[in-house]
């Protein structure tokens, strides 16, 4: 058996996902945890958990590919010395296609963005991503759950128990929230309101992203919100179609980027990767480049006190690493 | 301030590299001894901040950039501002901006080139004659023609760059020549000199080594359509063209000043006729051309189209449902981007990269399909 393995890390705004796959795209270890505003720490925890899982299964693997995706992909890509940094849309499509080659539509709702990916004959032909506004995403669900005093994990189950979902204006998160308060104050039950929120998320998604796009079978729903059965049911009703949710639906981005990192490493060189990343001290310091009135925010990344990268500048002026030596 | 020694300090808003012909025009019709031309500061976050702090919240984005440019110029001592106008909200930019800036306490003279939707050369001439009493009508028009020619050659030059910059053998050569060309154009004195400079640099540009034709055909070609300001002023659309070029795509854009002033009025009827399956009347501003060009790009084998507009642009908003239909009929992906005062590059990078990846995968798939068909026929 060959001992090659590939790591995919998906660092989202809310949660961080990591997988280790073998050469046949099977997931041999995976981890999902909250980013909690610190992508570096979250990644460290994910990597050490992946290592633990591999150690427990007593498989010693050599890393041949590391891919990062998600909104912190560039930062983490630098830190992990990844051989591939890819946007989450491509990663999600590749991940899903590896399991469902006959997919035609991917619905994806994450913490702060939502995407609709249209696939025909195994190739992405169109996609839409929410612009300008985060209404109808996981962030909305979690803030509303908190307001209602419900654990986010329970939201879906509670929604299913409602027979008569409350109508909630879905266009804008701020308006939806005031509508929700209003509905609660005039006496709608909690279950109905929760079901209404799930419906609102779906309506918002379809109104924003699915305009002018044809949603065809087979429809796969993924991203963190796909774990919410209430939203899944609402999608089924709104689309009048079967909506599939994979058991690893939250890991598809990480899986996809791991597969891509495998494909890109054609000459098969082993990567120099240390699972004990937890012991390495990473520090980021934000500065403002004063080179011009743009005042770009530059992020300096230090590894054990040594500057390894700068990013965030619009031109090369701020991104250059001045050698102190 | 040294500026004070000039009686008139003239400034205008930025749009792309057109400050070059505008500067050339003004500097040749105004008196050097009494007038200084202030090229507005390079667009920056600060420009936008000044602009959005002092504009109505829901006005379209170009308005805010214009106001920002004006404020920065006024702070540098400008006391004469020049503004144009157009067929949408652009038509009342001038009046509103004058009022806003006056309310802010600035003292200046305001010149609008377009009044109530019409350009009246003699009236504009009179306004400039006030600044330079020695100006003759002939000189005024002649110098305008020179400036227009400069804009024309500049457009040609930049068109070639957009289409070929991702084919360069050695990256960076185009940019250097582009910068020198802009500097030379600024101080053109006569038409013959203009032709000399243009020929010299056009030749230099075309001599830059490109990759082979086969390699070029492998590259992705993306057409950019949409509203004029975000198309031409790259800062307002976060340098979308450069970003696409960097990813490896060649870009094509119709909207240039030459196109808007000369070609568009002439071919309007033809465009509507050509796209009569989708539109019957003009959509206003650049809406019609967006639709017609989407059809043309699809028919010319482009891999994808990106439609850009500033937040609040009504004509382009109207064009979107029609574009969605074209996208479906012609089987060409169209991505819609809206630009606002939000200024982060990350969101745009993600979308462009994904769009580009998608086009690459589509192209590869098509190639495989063609091969399969061939094999099936051969076998």
Q: Which of A156, A147, A230, A158 is nearest to A184 (CA)?
A: A147
What percent of chain B is modeled with pLDDT above 90?
A: 40
What confidence score (pLDDT) does residue B92 get? 84
A297 touches B at CB < 8 Å: no
Last residue of a domain, one of B165, B187, B211: B211
Per-window interface: A 144-173 vs B, CB < 8 A: none
Q: Are A169 and A212 within 8 A, CB to CB?
A: no
Cα A200–chain centre separation? 21
pLDDT by residue for chain A (325 residues), tens only, comes to 567 889 999 998 888 999 999 888 899 999 999 888 888 999 999 999 998 898 888 776 788 889 999 888 888 988 888 889 999 889 999 999 999 999 999 999 988 888 899 988 888 888 888 765 666 788 888 888 888 888 888 888 899 998 888 888 767 777 778 888 888 899 988 889 999 888 888 988 888 888 778 888 889 999 889 989 999 999 999 999 999 999 999 899 999 999 999 888 877 778 777 777 778 888 888 888 877 777 778 888 888 888 888 887 777 777 776 544 3
Distance CA B215, CA B332 (A): 22
A293·B321 Cβ contact <8 A: no
Chain B partners of A212 at a C-beta cutoff of 8 Å? Answer: 321, 324-325, 327-328
Q: Are B186 and B203 within 8 A, CB to CB?
A: no
Q: Are A115 and A89 within 8 A, CB to CB?
A: yes
- Tell me: do B166 and B105 sit in the same domain: no
Q: A280 vs chain B: nearest CA distance in angstroms?
A: 27
- Sorted by sequence, the CB contacts under 8 Å of residue A68 that are 6+ apart come out as A8, A9, A10, A11, A74, A76, A77, A80, A82, A84, A85, A86, A257
Q: Which of B282, B261, B14 is nearest to B155 (CA)?
A: B261
Q: Total structural domains in chain B?
A: 3
Find the distance separating the first CA and the last CA of chain B, reported in whole Å.
Answer: 83
Centre a 10 Å sphere on the Cβ of residue B89 and count the other Cβ atoms it contains: 18
A292 touches B at CB < 8 Å: yes
Q: A219 vs chain B: nearest CA distance in angstroms?
A: 19
A294·B351 Cβ contact <8 A: no
Place of tokens 């994808």: B304
Last residue of a domain, one of B211, B230, B262: B211
What confidence score (pLDDT) does residue A323 get? 43
What confidence score (pLDDT) does residue B343 get? 65
Q: Which of A287, A311, A288 is nearest to B46 (CA)?
A: A288
Per-window interface: B 253-272 vs A, CB < 8 A: none
- Tell me: do B60 and B183 sit in the same domain: no
Task: Name the more confident of B2 and B153.
Answer: B153
B69 touches A at CB < 8 Å: no
- Tell me: do B247 and B334 sit in the same domain: yes
Q: Which of B213, B243, B244 is nearest to B360 (CA)?
A: B244
Sign of the four-CA dihedral A317, A318, A321, A325: positive
B350·A121 Cβ contact <8 A: no
Chain A partners of B333 at a C-beta cutoff of 8 Å? Answer: 125-126
- Sorted by sequence, the CB contacts under 8 Å of residue A240 that are 6+ apart come out as none
Reading the block at residue B189, the tokens are: 């004195």
- Sorted by sequence, the CB contacts under 8 Å of residue A187 that are 6+ apart come out as none
Distance CA A6, CA A28 (A): 10
- Sorted by sequence, the CB contacts under 8 Å of residue B203 that are 6+ apart come out as none
Give the domain extent around B175. Answer: 141-211
B311·A132 Cβ contact <8 A: yes
Q: B320 vs chain A: nearest CA distance in angstroms?
A: 10
> Looking at domain A4-92+254-279, does it have CATH number 3.30.70.1450?
no
Query: Which CATH number covers residue B257?
Result: 3.40.50.11900
- Tell me: do B305 and B350 sit in the same domain: yes
Domain(s) labelled CATH 3.30.420.40 in chain A stretch across 4-92+254-279, 103-245
Chain B partners of A134 at a C-beta cutoff of 8 Å? Answer: none
What confidence score (pLDDT) does residue A221 get? 94
Beta strands in B244-325, from DSSP E residues, in sequence order? 250-253, 304-310
Query: Which CATH number covers residue B66?
Result: 3.40.50
Quick one: closest CA in B to A212, which residue? B324
What confidence score (pLDDT) does residue A286 get? 84
Reading the block at residue B108, the tokens are: 């200046």
Taking only the tens place, the pLDDT of each residue in B85-102 is: 777 788 888 889 999 999
Quick one: closest CA in A to B72, which residue? A293
A212·B328 Cβ contact <8 A: yes
- ipTM value of the model? 0.79
B324 touches A at CB < 8 Å: yes
- Tell me: do B80 and B229 sit in the same domain: no
What confidence score (pLDDT) does residue A168 get? 84
Residue B246 DSSP code:
H
- Tell me: do B272 and B185 sit in the same domain: no
Average pLDDT over residues B13-41: 91
Place of tokens 């004063």: A290
Torsion over CA of B194, B195, B197 and B198, rounded to 10 degrees? 110
What confidence score (pLDDT) does residue B295 get? 94
Taking only the tens place, the pLDDT of each residue in B197-209 is: 999 999 998 888 8
Centre a 10 Å sphere on the Cβ of residue B99 and count the other Cβ atoms it contains: 11
A122·B365 Cβ contact <8 A: yes
Helices (H), B35-83: 45-53, 61-75
A314·B342 Cβ contact <8 A: no
Centre a 10 Å sphere on the Cβ of residue B196 and count the other Cβ atoms it contains: 13
- Tell me: do B110 and B39 sit in the same domain: yes
B45·A293 Cβ contact <8 A: yes
Quick one: closest CA in B to A90, which residue? B354
- Sorted by sequence, the CB contacts under 8 Å of residue A185 that are 6+ apart come out as none
B126 touches A at CB < 8 Å: no
Reading the block at residue B335, the tokens are: 């991505």
What percent of chain A is modeled with pLDDT above 70?
A: 95
B215 touches A at CB < 8 Å: no
B354·A127 Cβ contact <8 A: yes
Chain B partners of A214 at a C-beta cutoff of 8 Å? Answer: 328
A186 touches B at CB < 8 Å: no
A88·B350 Cβ contact <8 A: yes
Beta strands in chain A, from DSSP E residues, in sequence order? 4-11, 15-21, 27-34, 62-69, 84-85, 105-109, 114-120, 123-129, 219-222, 243-244, 282-288, 297-303, 306-311
Q: B291 vs chain A: nearest CA distance in angstroms?
A: 16
Chain A partners of B44 at a C-beta cutoff of 8 Å? Answer: 292-294
Reading the block at residue A171, the tokens are: 């266009």
Name the phi and psi angles at B349, rounded to 5.
Answer: -55, -45
- Tell me: do B187 and B53 sit in the same domain: no
Q: Are A137 and A114 within 8 A, CB to CB?
A: yes
B32 touches A at CB < 8 Å: no
B350·A211 Cβ contact <8 A: no
A and B: number of Cβ contacts within 8 A:
72
Q: Which of A88, A90, A294 sits opposite B44 (nearest CB)?
A: A294
Distance CA A42, CA A124 (A): 30
- Tell me: do B297 and B363 sit in the same domain: yes
Distance CA A67, CA A264 (A): 10
- Tell me: do B200 and B239 sit in the same domain: no
Residue B249 DSSP code:
-
- Tell me: do B225 and B359 sit in the same domain: yes
Chain A partners of B322 at a C-beta cutoff of 8 Å? Answer: none
Best to test chain A binding among B350, B370, B373 (most A CBs inside 10 Å): B350
Radius of gyration of chain A measured on its C-alpha atoms: 21
Quick one: closest CA in B to A89, which residue? B354
Band the pLDDT of B328: cuts 50, 70, 90. confident
A316 touches B at CB < 8 Å: no
B346 touches A at CB < 8 Å: yes
Reading the block at residue A299, the tokens are: 């992020």
B373 touches A at CB < 8 Å: no
B345 touches A at CB < 8 Å: yes
B367 touches A at CB < 8 Å: no
Distance CA A69, CA B350 (A): 10
Distance CA A94, CA A66 (A): 15
Helices (H), B76-190: 93-103, 121-131, 137-164, 173-186
Last residue of a domain, one of B135, B160, B192: B135
> Looking at domain A103-245, does it have CATH number 3.30.420.40?
yes
Q: What angle do CA A249, A130, A194 make, to 5 degrees?
A: 65
A233 touches B at CB < 8 Å: no
pTM of the entire predicted model: 0.84
Least confident of B180-184, B195-199, B208-212, B240-244: B208-212
Radius of gyration of chain B measured on its C-alpha atoms: 22
Q: Are strands A219-222 and A105-109 parallel, antiparallel or unpaired?
A: parallel
Chain A partners of B42 at a C-beta cutoff of 8 Å? Answer: 292-293
Q: Are A10 and A87 within 8 A, CB to CB?
A: no
DSSP A120-182: ETTEEEEEEE--S--TTSHHHHHHHHHHHT--GGGHHHHHHT-SSPPP---S-HHHHHHHHHH
Reported as half-sphere exposure (CB side, CA atoms, 13 A), residue A172 has a value of 4
A89·B46 Cβ contact <8 A: no
Reported as half-sphere exposure (CB side, CA atoms, 13 A), residue A321 has a value of 13
Residue A81 DSSP code:
T
Distance CA B125, CA A309 (A): 56
- Tell me: do B158 and B238 sit in the same domain: no
Reading the block at residue B196, the tokens are: 């000399």
């Amino acid at each position: 058996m060959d001992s090659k393995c590939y790591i995919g890390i998906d660092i989202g705004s809310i949660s961080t996902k990591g997988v280790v796959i073998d050469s046949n795209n099977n997931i041999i270890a995976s981890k999902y945890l909250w980013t909690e505003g610190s992508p570096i720490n979250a990644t460290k925890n994910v990597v050490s958990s992946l290592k633990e899982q591999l150690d427990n299964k007593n498989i010693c693997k050599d890393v041949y590919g590391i891919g990062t995706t998600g909104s912190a992909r560039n930062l983490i890509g630098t830190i992990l010395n990844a051989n591939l940094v890819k946007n989450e849309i491509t990663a999600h499509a590749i991940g899903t296609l590896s399991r469902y080659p006959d997919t035609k539509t991917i619905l994806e709702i994450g913490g702060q963005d939502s995407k609709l990916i249209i696939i025909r004959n195994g190739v992405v032909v169109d996609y839409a991503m929410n612009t300008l506004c985060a209404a109808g995403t996981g962030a909305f669900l979690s803030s509303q759950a908190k307001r209602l005093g419900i654990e986010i994990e329970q939201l879906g189950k509670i929604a299913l128990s409602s027979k008569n979902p409350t109508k909630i204006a879905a266009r804008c998160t701020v308006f939806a929230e005031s509508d929700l308060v209003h509905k609660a104050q005039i006496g709608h039950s909690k279950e109905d309101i929760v079901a209404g929120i799930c419906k609102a998320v779906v309506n918002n998604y379809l109104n924003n992203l699915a305009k002018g796009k044809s949603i065809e079978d087979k429809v796969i729903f993924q991203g963190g919100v796909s774990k919410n059965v209430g939203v899944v049911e609402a999608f089924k009703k709104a689309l009048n179609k079967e909506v599939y949710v994979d058991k690893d639906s939250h890991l598809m981005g990480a899986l996809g980027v791991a597969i891509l990192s495998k494909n890109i490493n054609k000459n098969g060189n082993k990567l120099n990767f240390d699972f004990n990343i937890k012991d390495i001290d990473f520090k980021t310091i934000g500065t403002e480049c004063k080179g011009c009135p743009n005042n770009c925010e530059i992020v300096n990344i230090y590894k054990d006190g040594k500057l390894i990268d700068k990013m965030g500048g619009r031109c090369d002026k701020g991104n250059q690493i001045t050698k102190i030596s | 301030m040294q500026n004070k020694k000039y009686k008139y300090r003239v400034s205008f808003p930025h749009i792309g590299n057109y400050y070059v012909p505008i500067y050339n025009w003004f500097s040749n019709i105004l008196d050097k001894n009494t007038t200084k031309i202030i090229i507005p500061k390079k667009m920056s976050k600060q420009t936008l901040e000044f602009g959005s702090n002092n504009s109505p919240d829901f006005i379209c984005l170009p308005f805010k950039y214009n106001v920002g440019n004006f404020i920065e110029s006024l702070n540098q001592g400008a006391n004469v501002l020049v503004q144009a106008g157009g067929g949408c909200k652009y038509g009342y930019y001038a009046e509103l901006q004058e009022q806003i800036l006056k309310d802010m306490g600035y003292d200046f003279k305001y010149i609008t080139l377009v009044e109530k939707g019409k350009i009246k050369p003699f009236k504009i001439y009179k306004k400039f004659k006030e600044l330079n009493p020695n100006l003759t009508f002939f000189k005024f028009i002649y110098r305008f023609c020179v400036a227009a020619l400069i804009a024309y050659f500049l457009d040609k030059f930049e068109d070639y760059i957009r289409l070929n910059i991702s084919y360069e053998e050695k990256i960076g050569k185009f940019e250097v020549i582009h910068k020198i060309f802009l500097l030379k154009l600024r101080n053109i004195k006569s038409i013959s000199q203009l032709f000399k400079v243009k020929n010299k640099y056009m030749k230099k540009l075309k001599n830059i080594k490109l990759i082979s034709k086969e390699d070029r055909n492998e590259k992705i070609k993306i057409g950019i359509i949409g509203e004029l300001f975000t198309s031409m002023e790259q800062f307002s659309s976060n340098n979308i063209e450069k970003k696409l070029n960097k990813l490896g795509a060649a870009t094509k854009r119709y909207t240039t000043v030459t196109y808007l002033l000369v070609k568009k009025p002439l071919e309007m009827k033809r465009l509507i006729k050509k796209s009569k399956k989708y539109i019957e009347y003009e959509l206003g501003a650049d809406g019609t051309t967006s639709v017609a060009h989407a059809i043309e790009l699809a028919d010319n084998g482009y891999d994808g189209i990106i439609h850009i507009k500033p937040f609040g642009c009504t004509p382009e908003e109207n064009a979107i449902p029609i574009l969605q239909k074209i996208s479906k009929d012609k089987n060409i992906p169209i991505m819609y981007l809206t630009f606002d005062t939000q200024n982060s590059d990350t969101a745009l990078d993600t979308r462009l990269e994904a769009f580009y990846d998608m086009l690459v995968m589509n192209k590869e798939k098509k190639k495989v399909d063609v091969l399969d068909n061939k094999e099936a026929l051969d076998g």
